[in-house]
Amino acid sequence: MAGSELTNIKSPRVKAARRLTKRAFRDRDRSFLAEGPQAVREALALDDVVVELFTTAEAELRHAEIVFAARAAGIPVLRTSGEVMAELAQTVTPQGLLAVCRFVHVPLERAVTADARLVAVLAHVRDPGNAGTVLRSADAAGADSVIFTDASVDPYNGKCVRASAGSLFHLPVATGAPVAQAVAKLKESGLRVLAADGAGKQTLDDVDLSGPTAWIFGNEAWGLPEELLRLADDVVRVPIYGRAESLNLATAAAVCLYASARFQRAGSPSAPGPRLP
């Protein structure tokens, strides 16, 4: 420490936070890093999620309301040097705010309830940027929850957290369930399960999306394997009107989720937004 500023990158607090960039330590400590003002602000909106907050002096001035909210909640605020923040951050140009947060995911039974109307399922999605963007799109479309199945990327991966732009803290997220188990729970709760895949015989223009719907999105490179396609009620493809070979995963997911949201809200203009965990 130099005065009230943490300057030693080898200090125990810094090393404990830094190790959360690795999944094994995240799983062991049941904690992860949320970087940047948007993610930290949304994490602070939930009770008992933020464990401690690292901030540079410059960021403390620029985002005084965030730092004040953390202190008001009794959360330790550690002012760091730029060198320490660069050690902790996973971005090229850190924004000077980084929170250590407790895991926020919920059991599958809480993520999929009888009144759910729109759910996104990530099956074998490996790219954290895509996964976080799908989570953000699901949140924006008013989805009830998002399921990261057991073969998909960790939602607490730093790139996934950043790509979600705070949406990780907005709606129930379930992790670790096998796809078959997730699909069984969705069908039991009355949702029609649609697989988004370029091999679909129906297009998004043809399918009725007015009822409760769950969308399964597959791997960026090879989509959904045949055994997962058979689990769905229907396989649907996004129509390509131009000359592009395909859409990337995150874009296709946004199109599908918004198509469902549009159909559902046309019949229910006062439909509520997503529920917090």
Give pLDDT tens digits for 73-131.
Answer: 999 999 999 999 999 999 989 999 999 999 999 999 999 999 999 999 999 999 999 99
Across the range 50-67, mean pLDDT stands at 97
What pLDDT does residue 43 have? 98
pLDDT tens digits for 213-230? 999 999 888 889 999 999
**Per-residue CA distances from 236 to 96, 134, 190, 203, 252 (Å):** 43, 17, 19, 5, 11
- 144 pLDDT above the threshold of 90: yes
Calpha distance 255→259 (Å, rounded): 6
pLDDT tens digits for 1-35? 444 788 888 999 999 999 999 999 999 999 999 99
What pLDDT does residue 268 have? 52
Q: Which domains does the chain have, with CATH numbers?
A: 5-102 (3.30.1330.30), 108-267 (3.40.1280.10)
pLDDT > 70: what percent of the chain? 95
- H-run or E-run covering 229: helix 226-229
